[in-house]
């Protein structure tokens, strides 16, 4: 059997796409290998969101050139967002690449690879394609947690973002195909699904009949075996009262909400073309906490967007305190080709971005730690998904609010179980706990 090695950069959607590619190629007798040195085909799934992500890919392609020098038959392919954005320029900069294809062409990966092998010349495929739900998965896919892409593309025009160009128009998959995929995952032992889309809370509006994410939650909630539903990424602009009700009412939907803010300054939000103000965002947070008091929030923030002043930045810091995020992802603004913000005159220096990045992370870490401490002493539901990184004798899992908990399973719980854990200690990056149904506690309760 010929061997395939996959290298994946970027977001969860890329991880999902890589799995599809592995599954599709498996149907054509390609076997996955973890060792790039023994591969006949290496596919690099790429991310174009920031320049740093692209630099990583080109440096990896530089390494692969050495491998190919030893093994001239090796085929090297670049797929995903960089492929879509830069097209032929990739092969010009890295001639080692034999195959370039964007996400619309994933369904035809087998045919594209065959073409390279047969014709012995490079192939470039970055056209738009029909929307297909690929259900193929690699054989090793039996696992506790899985991503499920529910919609492709993005039609927002955030002035910093390249995604609408790399991932095309917004298109939702039908509820039936999604439920079918979740049922198959559940049959293979999957316990948690994360529904993916660039603006996942706009799911379904392009379908006939139109539907929405709340209705999809209800359908996925019915799938036996699935214990938890997560979803990402939501855009504040598209958040509806109906979705907030669904988050409250659909039992398997977890109390963790990733709601990118990007900036705390109205002036910057407007220049980003995000379509909401800080006041509107705070109003939404209040409505959600009103419906689901235990909701944990996470967010994405950009520092050093063109024209961002010290006063704008301070408003971002203030929003982190006000919302009380559990988790914050901070990005330094990166100029992306073809986006409106790349042409804005008042670009911020890298030094200033670096300083704001550090300062924002300090605030976010402190706020996140305060949120974590609130859990001490509480008993929470944990989905057991592995062993503790530090002490392999112990089990690890996540709370519904997505925090890692390490605990001694005492031989009585297994992977995939939902188990009540009493949190004994809140550390900066994880929690420690004990089984809440330990005999001595049970005794206490029966007094």
Positions in the binding site for ligand F3S (CB under 6 A): 154, 156, 158, 161, 163-164, 198-199, 235
| Residue of 155, 249, 300, 417 interacting with ligand SAH (CB under 6 A) | 300
| Residue of 101, 333, 413, 426 interacting with ligand SAH (CB under 6 A) | 333
In DSSP notation, 208-231 reads: SS---HHHHHHHHHTSTT--EEEE
Phi and psi at residue 130, to the nearest 5°: -70, 155
Phi and psi at residue 44, to the nearest 5°: -105, 115
Nearest distance from residue 149's CB to ligand SAH, in Å?
13
In DSSP notation, 362-397 reads: HHHHHHHHHHHHTTTT-EEEEEEEEE-SS-TTSEEE
Which is it for strands 75-80 and 41-46: parallel, antiparallel or unpaired? Answer: parallel
Asked if 14 is part of the footprint of ligand SAH (rule: CB under 6 A), the reply reads: no
Tokens of 228: 């938890």
Listed as own residue / partner, the contacts of 348-356 with beta carbons closer than 8 Å and 24 or more positions apart are: 348/304, 348/305, 348/306, 348/307, 348/308, 349/304, 350/304, 352/304, 353/303, 353/304, 356/303, 356/304, 356/308, 356/313
**What percentage of the chain's residues is helix, strand, coil (to nearest 5)?**
40, 20, 35
Nearest distance from residue 203's CB to ligand SAH, in Å?
13
Nearer to ligand F3S, 233 or 430 (CB): 233
Nearer to ligand F3S, 25 or 162 (CB): 162
Phi-psi region of 290 (alpha: psi -120 to 50; beta: other; left: phi over 0): alpha
Asked if 284 is part of the footprint of ligand SAH (rule: CB under 6 A), the reply reads: no
CA pair distance 151, 131, nearest whole angstrom: 10
Asked if 235 is part of the footprint of ligand SAH (rule: CB under 6 A), the reply reads: yes
Nearest distance from residue 50's CB to ligand SAH, in Å?
5
Query: Of ligand F3S, ligand SAH, none, which one does residue 50 interact with (CB within 5 to 8 Å by kind)?
Result: ligand SAH
Nearest distance from residue 27's CB to ligand F3S, in Å?
31
Nearest distance from residue 238's CB to ligand F3S, in Å?
9
Asked if 336 is part of the footprint of ligand SAH (rule: CB under 6 A), the reply reads: yes
Query: Of ligand F3S, ligand SAH, none, which one does residue 360 interact with (CB within 5 to 8 Å by kind)?
Result: none
CA 400 to chain centroid, in Å, comes to 17
Nearest distance from residue 281's CB to ligand SAH, in Å?
13
Asked if 90 is part of the footprint of ligand SAH (rule: CB under 6 A), the reply reads: no
Query: Of ligand F3S, ligand SAH, none, which one does residue 336 interact with (CB within 5 to 8 Å by kind)?
Result: ligand SAH
* Residues binding ligand SAH (CB under 6 A): 49-50, 154, 160-161, 163, 198-199, 233, 235, 260, 262, 300, 302, 331, 333-334, 336
């Amino acid at each position: 059997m010929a061997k395939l090695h996959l290298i994946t950069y970027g977001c969860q959607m890329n991880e999902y796409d890589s799995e599809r590619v592995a599954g599709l190629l498996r149907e054509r007798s390609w076997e996955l290998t973890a060792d790039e040195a023994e591969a006949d085909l290496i596919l690099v799934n790429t991310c174009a969101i920031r320049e740093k992500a692209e630099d990583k890919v080109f440096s990896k392609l530089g390494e692969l050139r050495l491998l190919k020098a030893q093994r001239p038959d090796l085929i090297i392919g670049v797929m995903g967002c960089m492929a879509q954005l830069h097209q032929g320029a990739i092969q010009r900069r890295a001639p080692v690449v034999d195959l370039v294809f964007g996400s619309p062409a994933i369904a035809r990966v087998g045919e594209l690879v065959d073409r390279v092998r047969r014709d012995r010349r490079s192939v470039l495929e970055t056209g738009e394609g029909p929307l297909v739900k690929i259900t193929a998965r690699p054989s090793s896919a039996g696992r506790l947690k899985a991503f499920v892409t529910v919609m492709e593309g993005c039609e927002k025009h955030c002035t910093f973002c390249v995604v609408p160009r790399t991932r095309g128009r917004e298109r939702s998959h039908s509820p039936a195909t999604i439920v079918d995929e979740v049922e198959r995952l559940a049959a293979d032992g999957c316990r948690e699904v994360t529904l993916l889309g660039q603006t996942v809370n706009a799911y379904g509006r392009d379908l006939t009949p139109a539907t929405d994410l709340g209705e999809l939650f209800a359908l996925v909630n019915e799938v036996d075996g699935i214990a938890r539903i997560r979803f990402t990424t939501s855009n504040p602009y598209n958040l509806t009262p109906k979705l907030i009700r669904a988050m409250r009412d659909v039992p398997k939907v977890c109390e963790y909400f990733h709601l990118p803010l990007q900036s705390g300054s109205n002036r910057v939000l407007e220049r980003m073309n995000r379509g909401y103000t800080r006041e509107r965002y705070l109003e939404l947070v209040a409505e959600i906490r009103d419906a689901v008091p235990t909701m944990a929030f996470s967010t994405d923030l950009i520092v050093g967007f063109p024209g961002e002043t010290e006063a704008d930045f301070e408003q971002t810091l203030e929003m982190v305190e006000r919302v009380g995020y559990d988790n914050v992802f901070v990005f330094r603004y990166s100029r992306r080709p073809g986006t409106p913000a790349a042409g804005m005159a008042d670009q911020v220096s890298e030094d200033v971005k670096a300083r704001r990045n550090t300062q924002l992370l300090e605030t976010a870490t402190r706020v996140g730690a305060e949120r974590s401490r609130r859990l001490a002493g509480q008993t929470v539901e944990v989905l057991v998904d592995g062993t503790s990184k530090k002490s392999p004798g112990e089990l690890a899992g996540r709370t519904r609010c997505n925090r890692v908990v390490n605990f001694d399973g005492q031989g009585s719980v297994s992977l995939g179980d939902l188990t009540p854990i009493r949190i004994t200690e809140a550390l900066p990056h994880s929690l420690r706990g004990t089984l809440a149904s330990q005999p001595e506690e049970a005794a206490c309760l029966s007094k």
